Amino acid sequence: MEERHSYRNQNDEIEKLLETASFFAGLPEESLASVMSHAVIRSHPANRVILLENDWGGAVYFILEGWVKIRTHNVDGKEITLNIVGKGEIIGEMAALEEIPRSTDAITLTPTTVSSIPAQDFVSLLQSEPIAGIHLAQLMAKRLRQLNRRLRLREADSLSRVADTLIFLAEGQGKPTKQGIEIPNLPHRELSSISGLARETVTRSLTKLEKKGVIKREDDILCINDLDALEQIIN
């Protein structure tokens, strides 16, 4: 069940948002206070639709915890995963900027907490604070660079495409540890949708990488033990 946070908890979560979302870094306190005065914090279970394609873009969302899948469908109705985003990321910003209906769905993959602000407040912040615009441009450039690499590898062998998918997830939300970089051990159907490979092919490729000692899977966590080895596979 969706949970709307109490005022006290919401203040705590807003402080957490300011600490984790690079979009807000370096912005004046008065600008932050104005935007955050309208922020709403909600928690969602896994497999909950946050945004629906063709809905009007009335708000922009910042992820405080959890993982969210951005998806669309092709002309045959097949689901296509465009991105997986996590803590500190923004979703719903394109519809807010263009003032048009949303072009994708956003669905939680794990229990997720998000903070939403009205689209008008988001646009006003971009207009009044140039550094906010720079941060948004940097985010867009990062996503475009990742997409370009994924397209470049579309005709590569299956192991390269799975390796690239893991690097993509590590770059977005990887957590450095003594053992390596930890990412969620997502269902193989999700990795299949991102990489464009059959689920069975993804499973075989992950098994190969695990036997080589490049990755290690334990319950909900996949640890990349050797990021350099993954990079060498795709280069």
Q: Are 163 and 131 found together in one domain?
A: no
In sign, the C-alpha dihedral spanning 177, 15, 63, 133 is negative
pTM above the 0.85 mark? no
| 151, 175, 205 - which closes a domain | 151
Do residues 210 and 216 lie in contact, with contact meaning Cβ atoms separated by under 8 Å?
yes
CATH number reported for the structural domain that contains residue 71 in this entry: 2.60.120.10
CATH number reported for the structural domain that contains residue 205 in this entry: 1.10.10.10
Question: Tell me, what's the pLDDT at 11?
Answer: 64
Q: Are 98 and 203 found together in one domain?
A: no
Do residues 86 and 173 lie in contact, with contact meaning Cβ atoms separated by under 8 Å?
yes
CA distance 46 to 43: 10
Q: Are 46 and 5 found together in one domain?
A: yes
Question: Tell me, what's the pLDDT at 24?
Answer: 87
Q: Are 45 and 131 found together in one domain?
A: yes
Q: Which domain holds residue 207?
A: 156-233
Question: Tell me, what's the pLDDT at 34?
Answer: 85
Question: Tell me, what's the pLDDT at 32?
Answer: 84
Total structural domains within the chain: 2
Q: Are 8 and 106 found together in one domain?
A: yes
Question: Tell me, what's the pLDDT at 3?
Answer: 55
Q: Are 63 and 119 found together in one domain?
A: yes
Question: Tell me, what's the pLDDT at 6?
Answer: 44
| 151, 167, 190 - which closes a domain | 151
Q: Are 119 and 160 found together in one domain?
A: no
**From first to last of its 235 residues, what are the pLDDT tens digits of the chain?**
555 554 445 566 667 677 767 888 888 888 888 888 888 889 999 899 999 888 887 899 999 888 899 988 888 888 888 888 888 889 999 888 888 888 899 999 888 999 899 999 999 999 999 999 999 999 889 888 877 877 777 778 999 999 988 988 888 778 889 889 998 888 888 888 888 889 999 999 999 999 999 999 988 889 999 999 999 998 7
Burial (CB < 10 A; 0-12, 13-18, 19+), residue 19, is exposed
Q: Are 98 and 166 found together in one domain?
A: no
| 126, 151, 176 - which closes a domain | 151
Q: Are 219 and 170 found together in one domain?
A: yes
